[in-house]
Amino acid sequence: MELLPFGVLPPYRPRKFLPQQFDLGDWKQIAPLFDQLETCYQELKSQAELERWLLDWSELSAALDEESSRRYIAMTCHTDNAEAEQAYLHFVEKIDPELKPRQFKLSQLYVAHPLREKLPKERYEVFDRDTKLHVELFRPESVALETEEAKLSQQYQKLSGSLTVQFRGEEKTLVQMARYLEETDRSLRQEAWELVAKRRLQEAEKFEDIFDKLVQLREQIAKNAGFSNYRDYAFRKLGRFDYTPEDCIRFHEAVEKEILPVVRELQAKRRSQLGVDTLRPWDSAVDPLNRPPLRPFGKVEQMTDRAQKIFDNLDRDLAEGFRRMQDLRLLDLANRKGKAPGGYQSTLAEARVPFIFMNAVGLQRDVETILHEAGHAFHALATREEDLYPYRGAPIEFCEVASMSMELLGNKYLEEFYSTPDANRARRTHLEGVMNIFPWIATVDAFQHWIYTHPGHTREQRKAAWLELMDCFGGDVDWRGYEEIRANLWHRQLHIFIHAFYYIEYGIAQLGALQVWANSKRDQTAALNDYKRALKLGGSRPLPELFQSAGCQFEFSRKTIEPLAKTVREELAKLPSS
Ligand SMILES: [Zn+2]
C-alpha cells in the first residue's frame, strides 16, 4: 500500500557525501556516516575543507530530517495503519536518541575548530552564534532535569487530553466542545462553556502541582548554566539574540495602549449586535448577527482551485509554486477517516519541497489554514538554493511572518470563494481575530516574566499576579459568578506548561505580517517582492535583517504598533458588518 501521497522525489542536489542507497531507518547504517564526519574533521586543513565538511554534515542532516518527516506524514495520513505507526515510532524511539548526541558532538567539534574564525563572517555569523550557543548552554548535570521536565510536560498533556464532559447524554472531549461556542443559542453556549470550564477547574490542584514542579526544575536548570533566573536563561536558550526582556515589556505596554482600545470598541459593537448588556465569556466566538457559518466551498478540489486563483492574482512566482505542489501531489487536504486531526506544513529536507496536511471540511477556517500553510510552503520553496541545511529554516518569529502575511494578503481576493458581502464578513472575522489575540499573547508572556523573576513565590501570589494581568488585558468581559475559573484560566495555555516563554513569537510575527499587509496597500508588487526576497534568505541572517528585507521594522513598541492599529481600525470601518 502506498502510504505517501507523493511519488519518488529525488534529492534537490545529487548526493556527494551520502551513499546513493542506504536505509535511513537503520542506525547501523547511519552511525558510520557520523564516524566518517568525525574522522574527516581531524584532517581539515583549509577554510574550504571546513566549508565542505559543513555541507557534508548538512547533507546528512537533511536526509535524516526528510526520513523523519516522511514517516510522520505517512502516520498522520493513515492513523489506522499499524505499519506506518511502527515505522514512525521506530524512528522516534530508536533513531532520534542515537542521533542527538552525535549531532551535538559535531556541533562541539565545529565550535572547537581553529579554522572556524577564518570563515567569511557575513556568511556564517548566524550559524556560528547558534551553534556556539547550543554548545555553551549544555550542562551534563541538567540532562536528568530536562528528562524530568519532559515527563512533567507529558503529564500535563495527558491530563488535559484526558478530560471529557457529559453533554446532552454524550461523552465529549473538550476540543469537541469548542464548536458549541459558535452556536447562536446563548443558553446552549453557556451550558457548553460552563461544563468545560468547570471540568478544568476540578483539576486545578493537579495543574498547580505539575506547574510548581516545572518551575522548580527550570530554576535549577538556569542555575546550572550560570544564570540568576530562568527568564534570562530562556532568552538565551531560545536564541533570542536580537531582543531583550525589556523589548517584550514594551510590547506588553504597546498592546495595552494601542490594541486594547480597538478590542474594547469591537467588544462594544458585539454587545450591541448581540443585544446583550454585558459580554459573557461564552459570547466571543458566535457570529454577532446570528448568521449561519460561511460556506466557502463544497469539495476540497474547489478549495485548492480557488486558493490557486488567489495566488494567481497575487504573484506569478508564488502561483507557480503552488501549482507545482499540486502537480507533485504535495497536498493532502481533505478530511477523511483515519487522518490525524489538525493541519501542518512539513518540508522534505533533501528533496527541498514542502508538503501541506489539512482536514478541510468546508469552513472559513479552512480557507485561513490553506493560506497560512501555503505561506510556510512558499518559504520552504524560496530557500531551495541554500545548501547549508540550518539556513533553510528561519526562526519562528519570521516563519510566522511568511504564513500570517499570506492570510492577510490572500484575503484581498476572497471573492474567489464568496459573494462580496460574505467575503467582507470573512475579512472582518479575520481582522478581529488578529486584534483579539494580541492581549492574550501579552497576558501569557507577561505572566511568565512575572513567574520566573519571582523565585519562591506562593500559589496565592501567582494567582494575584495573573488576576492583575487579566484586569489589564482582559477587555470588557463580564466574569461575575465565575471568578475562580478566571483566576485559573492560564491552566489551559499549554505553552506556559510545556514550552516556557514560547508564545510572544506569534505577536512579533503578527506585527511583521501586518506591516507587509500595510505595505501592500500602498504598493502590492513592491510589498510582494520584498516578501519574496526576505523568504529567500531563510535563516541565514539575523531577525532584524529578515524583517527589514520584508519591508518591516523589527521593533515592537508603540512606535510600530500605533500605525498598525490605526490601519486595522480603518480597514474594519470600511467593512460593512451586515
Ligand atoms: Zn504557522
C-alpha grid cell, residue 317: 512566482
Quick one: pLDDT at residue 578? Answer: 59
pLDDT, one tens digit per residue, over 236-255 is: 999 999 999 999 999 999 99
Mean pLDDT over residues 30-53, rounded? 96
Residue 84's identity, in one-letter code, is: A
Residue in 34, 159, 17 with CA at minimum distance from that of residue 99: 34
Mean pLDDT over residues 388-397, rounded? 98
Say yes or no to pLDDT of 1 above 60. Answer: no
Q: Locate all alpha helices (DSSP H) within 120-244, ordered by sequence.
A: 121-137, 143-162, 174-177, 186-202, 204-224, 230-237
Quick one: pLDDT at residue 342? Answer: 87
Quick one: pLDDT at residue 8? Answer: 85
Quick one: pLDDT at residue 43? Answer: 93
Give residue 503 CA to ligand 1 midpoint distance, Å.
Answer: 12
Quick one: pLDDT at residue 84? Answer: 94
Q: Over the range 255-280, which residues count as b (16 or more CB within 10 Å of their CB) and which as e?
A: bbebbbebbeebbeebbeebeeeebb
Give residue 423 CA to ligand 1 midpoint distance, Å.
Answer: 23
List Cα–Cα distances, 284 to 182, 272, 278, 515, 567, in angstroms.
8, 13, 11, 26, 23
Give residue 329 CA to ligand 1 midpoint distance, Å.
Answer: 21
Quick one: pLDDT at residue 275? Answer: 96
Give residue 397 CA to ligand 1 midpoint distance, Å.
Answer: 10
Give residue 358 CA to ligand 1 midpoint distance, Å.
Answer: 13
Find out whether 79 and 338 touch, Cβ atoms under 8 Å.
yes
Give residue 568 CA to ligand 1 midpoint distance, Å.
Answer: 21
Mean pLDDT over residues 189-203, rounded? 97
The sign of the torsion formed by the CA atoms of 440, 446, 452, 456 equals: negative
Say yes or no to pLDDT of 383 above 70. Answer: yes
Residue in 146, 76, 158 with CA at minimum distance from that of residue 104: 146
Mean pLDDT over residues 35-64, rounded? 97
Q: Give me the percent of the chain exceeding a pLDDT of 70.
A: 100
Find out whether 447 and 469 touch, Cβ atoms under 8 Å.
yes
Residue in 350, 302, 356, 306 with CA at minimum distance from that of residue 328: 356
Q: Over the range 481-517, which residues count as b (16 or more CB within 10 Å of their CB) and which as e?
A: ebeebbbbbbbeeebbbbebbbbbbbbbbbbbbbbbb
Find out whether 255 and 438 touch, Cβ atoms under 8 Å.
yes
H or E element, residue 366:
helix 364-382
pLDDT class of 286 with cuts at 50, 70, 90 = very high
Give residue 530 CA to ligand 1 midpoint distance, Å.
Answer: 20
Find out whether 558 and 258 touch, Cβ atoms under 8 Å.
yes
Find the helix packing angle between 504-522 and 558-574, rounded to 10°: 60
Quick one: pLDDT at residue 341? Answer: 84
Give residue 562 CA to ligand 1 midpoint distance, Å.
Answer: 25
Give residue 355 CA to ligand 1 midpoint distance, Å.
Answer: 13
Give residue 94 CA to ligand 1 midpoint distance, Å.
Answer: 29
pLDDT, one tens digit per residue, over 414-447 is: 999 999 999 999 999 999 999 999 999 999 999 9
Find out whether 283 and 349 touch, Cβ atoms under 8 Å.
no
Find out whether 255 and 442 touch, Cβ atoms under 8 Å.
yes
Give residue 317 CA to ligand 1 midpoint distance, Å.
Answer: 21
C-alpha grid cell, residue 541: 541572517
Reading phi first (left if > 0) and then psi (alpha if -120 to 50, else beta), residue 249 is in alpha
Give residue 76 CA to ligand 1 midpoint distance, Å.
Answer: 18
pLDDT class of 392 with cuts at 50, 70, 90 = very high
Give residue 285 CA to ligand 1 midpoint distance, Å.
Answer: 21
Give residue 168 CA to ligand 1 midpoint distance, Å.
Answer: 35
C-alpha span between 110 and 112 (Å, rounded): 5
Quick one: pLDDT at residue 175? Answer: 83
Mean pLDDT over residues 178-194, rounded? 94
Helix (H, G, I), strand (E, B) or coil at 383: coil
C-alpha span between 393 and 399 (Å, rounded): 8
Find out whether 497 and 155 touch, Cβ atoms under 8 Å.
no
